[in-house]
A and B are shown apart, each in its own frame.
Chain A
């Protein structure tokens, strides 16, 4: 199903659309307030974008520098070129350490690699410990947002889900009660876990350490309670220097939720004695995206989700309508690089309003890349016959002023004189919920001609 089909289904429940839109707009406004408080916000974005551009131009060197420094600190470094390799590596670490129960804090990379089903098939229990992630895991759904994974669920829906899976009492969606119950449930999982998997927000080349940002402290809880910590990162997560954190940490949480900083910004530099720390560095299509000049800067992304919160389409269609690991505007420029046919409707799920580009803390020109993907998609992916033929004919007509004049006149005549049932037929998608313009007497060309004649 295309994005528009799924969006149409989502829009059948207008009250829920309004609620979803308002919830995310609230976050966008919080972001505005937080960003306004930072003097030099635009300069900070410029700086972050510049650092990321430098990283992408020297990625090979930074990655090797990072690996060497991490190894010096006693961290074991693994390289995976595909999702499958990543999953195999994680599994082999778990096997070697005889780990059967795993707690995982939020990592979009492991979502991208479909790590959970892979490990579950091998008989390993994987528990997502971020509250939102745990909710969607219990519901057997994918996250609908990269920062707010369960934003598509109301508290009443969570109430029902918890009753079913955690045995809670009906509470009419009391957030305090439900959170407390989730806390007890997760506490038990943390205490019994053998290994912890986390994502990585920033990996620092000069130190070989990495930073994980959470609001719930679940990454720390997992990493400190278990003997094995596996951190999974995409190759683009590198930053050159520790001091660059001063740029990115200031941008990340403000852009994401409007907080000055995430509750926990945890720095991991070396394993504690008696424990193991692993880093899996994953490509999975990133170097290919790096090779596409027009789309390279999509790898600047620090996964704040601001483009989703600001996107008027995302807010009204829900994250699942994108049918991709990363939904929203940034996902719509990343996903076509992975599977052009599957994701070919995504770059069209935009009015090209440009709000995403302006909100992005690392200045990715998202709406311009959407436009560029569109040009590629109509060439490389089979298009509906009517759409393609119509637009090709339009192109020919617009190149010939005389032919265009005839077409314009005919169209105006048709809208004016054809019976309403014909004009507003099933083929007229515009007219489903909108009136066509009322046709005035003649067009501008005719008015101008007459005016000159009379004048």
Chain B
């Protein structure tokens, strides 16, 4: 099984440590993983802004990079969701169809393809899980609170097996953080207010580290935490799972 590592643009440029943790984690799990260079972006910022048709070039680059792999795995739910959901703007060749089907968010891949839960990580801190909307409701990484279905959470399955971790419960378990891509600047006031409210929920519940499977939400929350000097750190779930294996 050959796996292509999908490192979304903002992780490549701004959070290389998240990419590194993802790659190391997959290697430790025995995955035959490759990183195709020449990656740019899945095109999500354009699509969500209404300029989907201008993203065709970026999507074509993605397909060219990843068509030879059995699976494509990336540490960002919303980007993966964009590939699954919105690559319908390309002609549906066999390559495109395969990529839409086989591109996985990291936790989803570990639990549902590798069929592993216990990784052997340790992380002795109080952690709050931010369930990013595109992962939760788009990729169905968990059950969302609106639906009357049995509870599950892919990220929690993995986090619960981490030694020493204390997973804190939140008052609003899956409310949006307000990042929303270009929403964060075009609707700045609401975006900031939503982020502040999310952080307050974590503070109120004694969280030391906010984690999640989508670093774009965490980037937004981190920007607020740093501006307001609040005592919480953010870490991508790959960084926690890759900790002292």
A358 to B17, CA, bound (A): 34
A-B contact count (CB 8 A): 209
Contacts of B227 in A (CB 8 A): 433-435
**Are B137 and A378 interface neighbours, CB within 8 A?**
no
CB 8 Å contact bits of B22-55 with A (1 = contact, 0 = none) = 0100000000000101111101011111111111
**Are A399 and B46 interface neighbours, CB within 8 A?**
no
Interface-facing stretch out of A36-44, A80-88, A145-153: A36-44
CB distance from A345 to the nearest CB of B (A): 9
Among B39, B43, B190, B220, the residue within 8 A (CB) of A317 is B190
**Are A313 and B38 interface neighbours, CB within 8 A?**
no
Q: A42-B147, A375-B50, A395-B58 are in contact. Are A430 and B185 (CB under 8 A)?
A: yes
Interface-facing stretch out of B8-16, B98-106, B116-124, B156-164: B8-16
In chain B, what residue has the closest Cβ to A393? B54
Contacts of A25 in B (CB 8 A): 172
A351 at interface (Cβ–Cβ under 8 A)?
A: yes
Give the dominant DSSP class at B's interface: helix
A365 to B137, CA, bound (A): 12
**Are B194 and A42 interface neighbours, CB within 8 A?**
no
Residues of B in contact with A, size category? 35 or more
B235 at interface (Cβ–Cβ under 8 A)?
A: no
Interface-facing stretch out of B175-183, B202-210, B236-244: B175-183
CB distance from B17 to the nearest CB of A (A): 6
**Are B55 and A398 interface neighbours, CB within 8 A?**
yes
Interface-facing stretch out of A2-10, A114-122, A197-205, A233-241: A2-10
**Are B12 and A445 interface neighbours, CB within 8 A?**
yes
Q: A11-B189, A42-B148, A443-B13 are in contact. Are A395 and B219 (CB under 8 A)?
A: no
B133 at interface (Cβ–Cβ under 8 A)?
A: yes
Contacts of A436 in B (CB 8 A): 223
Q: A4-B186, A312-B176, A444-B20 are in contact. Are A11 and B50 (CB under 8 A)?
A: no
A15 at interface (Cβ–Cβ under 8 A)?
A: no
Contacts of A270 in B (CB 8 A): none
Q: A352-B133, A391-B51 are in contact. Are A398 and B16 (CB under 8 A)?
A: no
Q: For chain B residues 101-156, which have a beta carbon within 8 Å of chain A?
A: 133-134, 137-138, 144-149
**Are B194 and A312 interface neighbours, CB within 8 A?**
yes
Q: A391-B51, A399-B58 are in contact. Are A437 and B15 (CB under 8 A)?
A: yes
**5 new A-B contacts at CB < 8 Å, known A432-B192, A443-B12:** A392-B54, A394-B54, A397-B40, A434-B227, A438-B226
Q: Which residues of A contact B (CB under 8 A)?
A: 3-4, 7-8, 11, 14, 17, 21, 25, 32, 35-36, 38, 41-42, 310, 312-313, 316-317, 348-355, 357-359, 371, 374-379, 387, 391-392, 394-401, 404, 408, 411-412, 429-430, 432-440, 442-449
Provide a sorted-by-A list of 8 A–B residue pairs whose CB atoms are within 8 angstroms.
A7-B189, A42-B148, A349-B187, A400-B57, A400-B61, A408-B9, A444-B7, A444-B12
Q: Which residues of B contact A (CB under 8 A)?
A: 7, 9, 11-17, 19-20, 23, 35, 37-41, 43, 45-58, 60-61, 86, 133-134, 137-138, 144-149, 172, 175-176, 178-181, 183-195, 197, 219-220, 222-224, 226-227
